[in-house]
Amino acid sequence: MIQFTLNGRAVQTDVDPNTPLLWVVRDHFKLKGSKFGCGAGLCGACTMHVDGAAMKTCVTPIAAVADKSIITIEGLGTPDDLHPLQAAWHEHAVPQCGYCQSGQIMAAAALLDANPNPSSDEIDAAMSGNICRCGCYPRIKRAIQAVSENALAYDAMAQTEGRK
């Protein structure tokens, strides 16, 4: 039995310990916001936070996250209670097909949690593990920069929410 915290809730599972976190979250806990893009750690569609760090969960065995805290896109914000990045995604009309966006936002949130005011190069470095086949990169960057203009407020929020 492997125990961990999923979006603040203590959960446990008895699946094969090699099963990637992505599939445990999607198929056992039925949270479908995190996506399957490559299954090989190459695209970032499956990005979640594991103890606050962005991880590619299609290659993270569930055994490796025992007793850790997992946040998925569902735990970051909801349509009625948007995380600032999600609001910026709407404001800057970032998503096209939208399939990569959960992963993009989770990667961006981990970046801002660690560094609320990143430079353009720092954004590139943090986000280049996430592919967007629709080509939303200019808008993703703009949306991250818009949120980071309010770095102090962001930092305070991340602390209140216990992500740092």
Partner 1 sequence: MNTINVSRRRLLQASAVTGGGLVVGLGFTGCSGAPAPLPVTSTEGAWTPNAFLQVLPDNTIRFYTARSEMGQGVTTGLATLVGEELDVDPLDMDIRLAGVHEDYVNPAFGMQGTGGSSSIRAHYMQLRQVGANTRGLILEAAATDLGVSASALSTGNGFVLHGDKRYPYAAFVETAQSLSIEADAPLKPASQFQYIGQETKRVDAIAKATGTAEFGLDVDVPDMHYAVVVRTPVAGAKALSVNAESAKAMPGVINVFEVSTGVAVVAETFWQAKQAAAKVVVRWESMPLEAVDTATLRRDYAAALNAGDGVEGPVEGDIDEALQSAAKIHEAEYWAPLLSHSPMEPMNATVRIESDQADVWTGIQFPSAVPGLVSRIADIPTENVRFHQTYLGGGFGRRGSPSHIIEATEIAKVAGKPIQLVWTREDDIQQGPFRPASLMRIKAGVDADGNLIAWDAARAGADISPDTFRSLLPALYSWMGDGMIEGVANLSEWYFEKFATDESSTEGLFEDYDHPNTRVTHMTVDHELPMTFWRSVGHSYTAFAKESMIDEMAEAAGMDEVAFRLQNTQNTPRLNNVIQVAGEHMAKMNPPEGHHLGFAAHHSFYTDVAEIAEVSVENGKIRVHKVTCVLDCGQAVNPDIVRSQIEGGVIYGLTATLYGGLNLERGAIKESNFHDYPMLRMNESPEIEVVIVNSGTKPTGVGEPGLPPIAPAVANAVYKATGQRLRSLPLQLA
Nearest-angstrom CA–CA distance, 54 and 106: 7
Give kind and range of the element (H or E) at residue 121. helix 120-127
Nearest approach in angstroms of CB 130 to ligand FES is 8
Where does this chain bind partner 1 (CB under 8 A)? 16, 19-20, 23, 27-28, 30-40, 42-43, 45, 72-74, 77-79, 82, 85-86, 89-91, 93-102, 105, 123-125, 127-141
User: If contact means CB under 5 to 8 A according to the sort of partner, which of partner 1, ligand FES, none does residue 30 touch?
Assistant: partner 1
| CA neighbor of 33 nearest in space, from 85, 78, 67 | 78
Nearer of residues 43 and 147 to ligand FES, judged by Cβ? 43
Mark residue 162 as left, alpha or beta (left: phi above 0; alpha: psi -120 to 50; beta: remaining).
left
Nearer of residues 134 and 146 to ligand FES, judged by Cβ? 134
- Strands 69-71 and 2-6 come out as parallel
Nearest approach in angstroms of CB 155 to partner 1 is 21
